[in-house]
Chain A
Amino acid sequence: MSILSSDNVLAVANAMLGVLGKSGADILAYVNSESAKFAQSIETIVSLTKSGSISADEAKLQLDLQRNASQTVLTSVEGITAIMAARAINAGLSAIAGIVNTAIGFNILPTA
């Protein structure tokens, strides 16, 4: 006997997508914007190196800074994505908490 109907499964999916949908688009826009900034900075470093305004050693130090900053952004985005995924899973579980708790006979899932 199935506890969850297809409507319940759909409710889980909708609850998860509700969390992921807008946040996912915001993350994408954010990463795009940050990538553009880094590309612009690297262009400046290359241009100053080619014109002889800075040495190869200075260019390397500057690129290190840009690389580390990009890494910081991406590590943070990884964390944000993990938090979003956790929220989506929790929203999905919350959508069927009542049915699951009734079927199992105790509150195994927290209700919203």
Chain B
Amino acid sequence: MKGTMSRFGRAGAAATGCLVVALGGCISIPAYDATTDTMLTTLQSSTDTLIDHLIDTYDATPATGKACAYSKNTQEFEGLRLTIGVLTTRADALYNNKYTLAALANLRDTYGSFDAAVKDAEHSRPDHCVLPQLLVTDQRALDSAVGAVLKLELAKTGGL
């Protein structure tokens, strides 16, 4: 009997403890980070500038090689990769930020696919570049992806 009471006592104490933890802390909401917001906005605009350049130079055929080819834009691609790397490091350092980290991992993969598509086109296509029609769809997808992570950041302020 004593043992049974003791077990109930422990269970009761544990249940009370859970209740206190659940009620006392409320639910923690990750903090909005203005730097992440600014960096995502810059990433979106750098991406647009690069893709606009790839589209605008598709028909140009300078003697030095097509300006829309991957090898002519390696610095820009590297810049995009670097920005996502910095965003990820920052997100990882912030408390309670697992959703942003997961979204940034997907964003990194999305930019990796874009990088791979432009790189592949240089070697496999006779025009060495991704078709403008496809670049438009790429731009739309990248805009959506960056915009979604930005929305997630803004949701932390209570907005959507």
Contact = CB atoms under 8 A, between A and B. Distances in A.
Contacts of A77: 148
Contacts of A37: 140-141, 144
Nearest to B110: A68
Contact of A62 (B23, B26, B138): B138
A102 interface: no
Greatest chain B CB density within 10 A among A83, A84, A93 is at A83
Given A41-B140, A86-B29, A65 B113 contact: yes
Interface residues of A, number: 46
B39 interface: no
B125 A79 contact: no
Interface in A69-92: 69, 71-73, 75-80, 82-87, 89-90
Nearest to A23: B160
A85 B103 CA distance: 18
Contacts of B24: 108-109
Nearest to A77: B148
A3 to B, nearest CB: 13
A73 B70 CA distance: 26
A75 B144 contact: no
Contacts of A23: 160
Contact of B26 (A58, A61, A110): A110
A62 B102 contact: no
Interface of A: 23, 26-27, 30, 34, 37-38, 40-41, 44-45, 48, 53-55, 57-58, 61-62, 64-66, 68-69, 71-73, 75-80, 82-87, 89-90, 93, 100, 108-110
